[in-house]
Amino acid sequence: MRKSLFRCVVLAGLAAGVASCSPQKPPAPPPPRVTVSQPQTATVTNWDEYPGHLDAIEMVELRPRVAGYLDSIHFQDGAEVKAGDLLVVIDPRPYQAELEHAQAQREQAESRLALAGDDLKRAESLRGTKAISVEEYDSRSKAAQEAEGSLAAARAAETTARINLDYTQIKAPIAGRIGRRLVTPGNFVQLGGNGGAATVLATIVSQDPIYCYFDVDEAAFARYRNTGKAGQAAELQGGALVCELGLVNEDGFGHIGRLDFFDNQVNPQTGTIRMRAVFDNPGRALVPGMFARLRVPAGPPEPALLVPDVAIQSDQGYKFVYVVNSANKVETRSITTGRAHDTLRAVLKGLTPQDRVAVNGLMMLRDGIQVEVQSPEPAVPGSRAAGESGAVEAKAQP
């Protein structure tokens, strides 16, 4: 009996211990917390973006017009120069001597002409009295004409010598930024001839304004040309289509310009046509030869429904968003998207302005679950396009 009682007590203790160690059912997790935002209605401008390159409106290679030894240089490498500034001096002494020689020959020709003129006058006075033969008179007349020709040639030679002397001072033909000096003083510079080219001393490129060249397809070209002719909306200034430019190290498109030229034919190999925009460059941020991002309005401003781009999910090419209904339950909504506008994207189909779109905590969501809703501050469309890779950029205007 004692053994049976002991066994009962031991078994009861073991049962109580096992019962105390059995797992408890965990409490239900709280519903996910999500941030929602209602789609915004805004007037936006759609933009087409293209790669382009900058080019100077004017570019000059400084070459000598007379040969000689380089005497002095009067510019700093990379400095901005004005039209007419003295840049380079070639040794002027040989050309000064040529000018003095030409002046002396001109004075001799003037003296010979004066003497021939006096002889002709005397011959004319003697001709009336027949004191001079016809042959003598003709000889003096021809001598006077020859003296006039010699004087004209001497004056032309003097002018040429004076021009050559002036060419020994090379001045800036345009205003702009000059490059580095390619020849140092003491070197001989020569003219082009016999298949050779004249020595290049430096180059000058204009700075303000500046061109940007880019290529567009035929359909876009026709659209831009029609927009420019029709003068649509506020994107036109003075009949020229407004465009914007940004550099590779800049966010957004901070430079405003206008289209001013398109080529006279379409490239049959690429189906594109070359276009050009002109931009003011007072701060010299745009440098000829740079690559740039340029965008042109694809049409007049239009109303659009915008949602944060981060809220849009993708599944095998289909776009969708999570919408929270009035019961705070999640619904999956298929949508058709448009262009990006800063951090927002246009929705063409699938949403209404009253829908609440989940924009945060998306990894924990699935169709039909209950959520706890938080509302953020409404976003405002910005001026910088931030579309997907390969998408056409656009700009939203509040």
Which residues have C-beta within 8 Å of that of residue 62, sequence separation ≥ 6? 87, 88, 170, 200, 201, 202, 203, 204
With H, G, I as helix, E, B as strand and everything else as coil, classify residue 165: helix
The residue ranges of DSSP E strands in 280-383, in sequence order, are 291-297, 302-308, 313-315, 318-324, 330-341, 344-349, 357-360, 372-374
Residue whose C-alpha is closest to residue 212's, from 56, 15, 390, 10: 56
Of the ranges 165-179, 355-369, 381-395, the best mean pLDDT one: 165-179
Alpha-helix runs per DSSP H in the chain: 2-21, 93-128, 134-167, 218-230
Taken as a whole, the chain contains a residue count of 398
Q: Rounded to an integer, what distance in angstroms lies between the CA atom of residue 178 and that of residue 198?
A: 18
Pairwise pLDDT comparison (396 vs 11), residue with the higher score: 11
Q: CATH 1.10.260: does it fit domain 93-167?
A: no
362: region left, alpha or beta (phi > 0 left; psi from -120 to 50 alpha): alpha
Average pLDDT over residues 182-204: 84
Average pLDDT over residues 278-307: 88
Pairwise pLDDT comparison (53 vs 343), residue with the higher score: 53
* Angle in degrees, CA 351, 352, 355, rounded to 5: 85
Average pLDDT over residues 120-142: 75
What pLDDT is recorded for position 165? 94
Question: Tokens 């310009």 — which residue?
Answer: 257
What pLDDT is recorded for position 236? 42
Q: Report in angstroms the alpha-carbon separations of 24 from 19, 31, 159, 201.
A: 11, 21, 114, 91
Structural contact between residues 338 and 347, judged by C-beta atoms closer than 8 angstroms: yes
What is the pLDDT confidence band of residue 396, given thresholds at 50, 70 and 90? very low
What pLDDT is recorded for position 387? 35
pLDDT at 391 over 60: no
| CATH assignment, 33-43+301-397 | 2.40.420.20
What pLDDT is recorded for position 193? 60
What is the pLDDT confidence band of residue 20, given thresholds at 50, 70 and 90? low
Structural domain boundaries of the chain?
33-43+301-397, 50-56+208-297, 60-89+175-205, 93-167
Mean pLDDT (the chain) is 81
| CATH assignment, 50-56+208-297 | 2.40.30.170
What is the pLDDT confidence band of residue 62, given thresholds at 50, 70 and 90? very high
Q: Report in angstroms the alpha-carbon separations of 378 from 40, 129, 298, 336, 381.
A: 8, 116, 27, 22, 10
| CATH assignment, 60-89+175-205 | 2.40.50.100
**Is the fold of 60-89+175-205 the same as that of 93-167?**
no
Residue whose C-alpha is closest to residue 274's, from 58, 53, 57: 53
Spell out the SS3 assignment of 133-161: CHHHHHHHHHHHHHHHHHHHHHHHHHHHH
Q: Rounded to an integer, what distance in angstroms lies between the CA atom of residue 127 and that of residue 133?
A: 7
pLDDT at 384 over 50: no
Q: In this predicted structure, which of 47-61, 108-122, 203-217 has the lowest mean pLDDT?
A: 108-122
pLDDT at 4 over 70: no
Tabulate helix, strand, coil % of the chain (nearest 5). Answer: 30, 35, 35
pLDDT at 149 over 60: yes
Question: Tokens 């700075």 — which residue?
Answer: 207
Structural contact between residues 172 and 203, judged by C-beta atoms closer than 8 angstroms: no
* Angle in degrees, CA 264, 221, 236, rounded to 5: 105
What pLDDT is recorded for position 16? 53
pTM of structure = 0.68
Query: Tens digits of per-residue pLDDT, 296-332?
Result: 888 778 888 888 888 888 888 789 988 888 888 888 8
What's the token pair of residue 21?
Answer: 């160690």
Residue whose C-alpha is closest to residue 296's, from 388, 225, 207: 225
What pLDDT is recorded for position 195? 56
Of the ranges 41-50, 247-256, 275-284, the best mean pLDDT one: 275-284
Query: Tens digits of per-residue pLDDT, 71-105?
Result: 999 999 999 999 999 999 999 999 999 999 999 99
Pairwise pLDDT comparison (204 vs 251), residue with the higher score: 204
pLDDT at 393 over 80: no
What is the pLDDT confidence band of residue 172, given thresholds at 50, 70 and 90? very high
State which amino acid sits at residue 294. L
pLDDT at 7 over 70: no
Query: Tens digits of per-residue pLDDT, 345-370?
Result: 888 888 888 888 888 878 888 888 88
% the chain with pLDDT above 90: 34
